[in-house]
Amino acid sequence: MRARWLREPGARYLFRDRGAASWVRLLWAGLTFALIVAFLMPALVPAKLQLEAGQVSPKDIWAPRTIADRYRTDSLRAAARAEVSDFYRLDPGVWLRADMSIASVFSGLAGLAAQGVEAGRKLEQARQLVGGELADSVLLAVLEASPGSRQDLEARVRETVGELLQAGIKPEYVETARKQAATELGVADLERNLRLFGAELARQVLEANMFFDEQETRRKGQEAADEIEPLRIIQGQVVVREGDVITEHQIAILGDLGLLQTTPAYPARVGVLVVAALLVASLAFYLKLFSPLVFGSNQRVLLLFVIMSGSIGLVWAAGSLSGYLVPVAVGSMLTTILLGPPAGVGVAVLLALLAGLGPGTHLLVALLGGLAGVYGVATLAQRSDLMRSGALVAGANVAAIFGLSLVGARSIAEVGFWLDHLWGIANGIFSAILTIGSLPFLENLFGIVTPLKLLELSNPNQPLLRRMLLEAPGTHHHSVMVANLAEAATERVGGEALLARVGAYYHDVGKIKRAYFFVENQLFGDENPHDKLSPNLSALIVTSHVRDGVELAQEENLPESLIDFIRQHHGTSLVTYFFHRATENGRDEPVMEQDFRYDGPIPDTRETAIVMLADACEAAVRALHRPNPARIEATVRRIIRERLDDGQLNQSDLTLRDLDAVAEEFTRLLTGFFHTRVQYPESMVGDLKEPDGGSGR
């Protein structure tokens, strides 16, 4: 089993043990699986009840989700269908046939009247033409009537029959129409027998011409039913109150909600287990591909589980108020700050899916809010930026809610329209407040060094930095110079510049204990205490500042990632000055080089390696006599080459290209720090506050 230190994105450092991490990952997967199942089971498989109509409800029963009230909706739609009148179609052919029949009868009668045949034969032919059971006197009166009278009768019959047929005659009202025709013709200004003839003819030609159209009636009824908006049972609405007698309607609603124990719930429960397993597996594979250092760290996996547990709890609690208040962004923002943006995106997607599967939350709103949180804190520089991130989350929520409202054709006049937008804004504010409040606890509990933590530790009022300023001012100034060099060079090679700066602030903190033994803290004209000590003892005092610094940092509970700068800023390099003094003394006993080397370890990240190089270069250039750009660059490159040849950079991930860029940055900044100044006459020096008059040369 081999362990090694690896650098995590965001300048956090993790101990990765390949053998021991596997069981922790399995434990994390199991706990996360159980957590997701516990969240989804009540939402997707509600508890079943054994109830019947007429039974008294043992408790209040709430709707776990919003559904359509089919029972009441169907009743209203059935009533709407019933109110639609039957649709009848007129048959125009009936009037055409009736009109032709009337014209044919009167034409035939006119022909018979003009024939010179005996009366009996005329009556016989007229009876055949007209049909029916008319008295001979009636037929004879029609035949003997004047042509004008017959024309008046024909016109009156046509008018009466036409009006009735145009109004429409249903099959069941045919006899009624015939009686109405007889009544109307009976009061006509005609001779009685002519009126009787007209009534009989109308009776014969009148028939039903309005027929029921079942298909059109059904269509109109469906149109009326479709205009009825579905009634809904809203999530959280009480369906049955405790003590009420349960009705058939309520049983139907409970059935639609899936709350009745009608069939075994095992298939649904198995489905939830499958969904939970798929979600956990997807997150695990995602982390393995895009955030392997989180996936491979026991501590970070545990932290991820804690964040997800709290986030899922918030999703469940806030969802009972409003689905748009679900603070998915809290989990995604905390994960991004503590574990990096890739892990934050994975958590945002997973929490959004869980919120979408739960009741009352729209997946799109949860997802966009979570991803906005990731984006907002990805470049976090100070705690006030968290409120800006909260505003970004609120804006994403409002935009998503507004778009979905337009898609759903919601009216802006609705109170619910604006209330949902207010929930979205509250979501962003709530997410920022919870993130600000919980971040310090998670930082301290898991020893995570976030940019916010680094900014706090860089405050000059921090106890160790304050002590260094007062007790070892030269070391403090040196540390500030090294911090400037390290920050610029680290940013140039793509490292974590803020971590390098803060690490440089603390790298020499161990010199506080014996500040006078380090030349930068000795006053002008003071005697160097090392002149009276043996080289071995001097080397021991100098190298002990690393151990002293680690002890002081641990007493102040500094994060391990900063303590690494103290441990590694000299690596196992040689204390050259005292080693040469020892070899020049001409002692009989051999001089062991190992006795003059630091204990290490050597730097294992680019940030600690750059601080090592900045520390050595700043001290060496400060010691140069009359420094100029060429001498500064030569000194910088010599020191980098010596550290490289000595193996001090073997475990850092700095490439030769990186080292060249570091040398360029060091040379540029050191040339500015130690630029050549104008030599003024001594008589003028006392009159000037600055030797170069503030010219910056």
Residue 501 resides in a domain? yes
Whether 499 shows a pLDDT value over 50: the answer reads yes
Which pLDDT band, with edges at 50, 70 and 90, does 10 fall under? very low
Same domain for 538 and 398: no
Total domains in the fold of the chain:
3
Same domain for 293 and 161: no
Same domain for 547 and 435: no
**Contacts for 63 with CB less than 8 Å, ≥ 6 apart:** 233, 234, 235, 236, 237, 238, 239, 253, 257
Are the CB atoms for 438 and 335 separated by under 8 Å? Answer: no
Average confidence (pLDDT) over 102-109: 78
Residue 383 resides in a domain? yes
Q: What pLDDT is stored for residue 387 in this prediction?
A: 84
Whether 116 shows a pLDDT value over 80: the answer reads no
Same domain for 542 and 484: yes
Residue 525 sits in a domain whose CATH number is: 1.10.3210
Q: What pLDDT is stored for residue 500 in this prediction?
A: 93
Same domain for 481 and 430: no
Q: What pLDDT is stored for residue 105 in this prediction?
A: 78
Residue percentage of the chain with pLDDT more than 70: 84
Listed residues 202, 218, 237: the one ending a domain: 202
Q: What pLDDT is stored for residue 610 in this prediction?
A: 95
Q: What pLDDT is stored for residue 409 in this prediction?
A: 62
Residue 16 resides in a domain? no
Residue 280 sits in a domain whose CATH number is: 1.10.1760
What would the pLDDT profile of 523-565 be if each residue is shown by its tens digit? 655 676 776 677 778 778 888 888 988 999 999 888 888 999 9
The residue range of the domain holding 343 is: 23-42+265-448
Question: Whole-number mean pLDDT of the chain?
Answer: 79
Whether 140 shows a pLDDT value over 90: the answer reads no
Q: What pLDDT is stored for residue 528 in this prediction?
A: 67
Whether 348 shows a pLDDT value over 70: the answer reads yes
Q: What pLDDT is stored for residue 256 in this prediction?
A: 72
Which pLDDT band, with edges at 50, 70 and 90, does 586 fall under? low
Residue 81 resides in a domain? no
Same domain for 110 and 29: no
Average confidence (pLDDT) over 204-215: 82
Q: What pLDDT is stored for residue 7 in this prediction?
A: 39
Which pLDDT band, with edges at 50, 70 and 90, does 403 fall under? confident
Listed residues 202, 220, 240: the one ending a domain: 202
Q: What pLDDT is stored for residue 635 in this prediction?
A: 92
What would the pLDDT profile of 236-266 be if each residue is shown by its tens digit? 677 778 777 877 777 777 777 766 655 555 6
Which pLDDT band, with edges at 50, 70 and 90, does 503 fall under? very high
Residue 694 resides in a domain? no
Whether 339 shows a pLDDT value over 70: the answer reads yes
Instruction: Identify the CA nearest to 93 among candidates 200, 165, 155.
Output: 165
Q: What pLDDT is stored for residue 43 in this prediction?
A: 63
Same domain for 613 and 569: yes
SS (H, E, C) 460-526: CCCHHHHHHHHHCHHHHHHHHHHHHHHHHHHHHCCCCHHHHHHHHHHCCHHHHCCHHHCHHHCCCCC
Residue 86 resides in a domain? no
Listed residues 154, 176, 202: the one ending a domain: 202
Q: Does residue 167 sit in helix, strand or coil?
A: helix
Whether 680 shows a pLDDT value over 60: the answer reads no
With residues binned 3-state (H G I as helix, E B as strand, rest as coil), the percentages for the chain, rounded to 5, are 70, 5, 30
Which pLDDT band, with edges at 50, 70 and 90, does 146 fall under? confident
Q: What pLDDT is stored for residue 486 in this prediction?
A: 94
- Output the six-digit token pair for 658: 């990186």
What would the pLDDT profile of 405-443 be if each residue is shown by its tens digit? 777 666 666 766 778 788 888 888 888 888 888 888 888
Q: What pLDDT is stored for residue 16 in this prediction?
A: 38
Beta bridge partners of 16: 4
| Between 388 and 188, residue with greater pLDDT | 388
CA distance 665 to 633: 10
Residue whose token pair is 């009705």: 247
Q: What pLDDT is stored for residue 360 in this prediction?
A: 56
Beta bridge partners of 8: 12
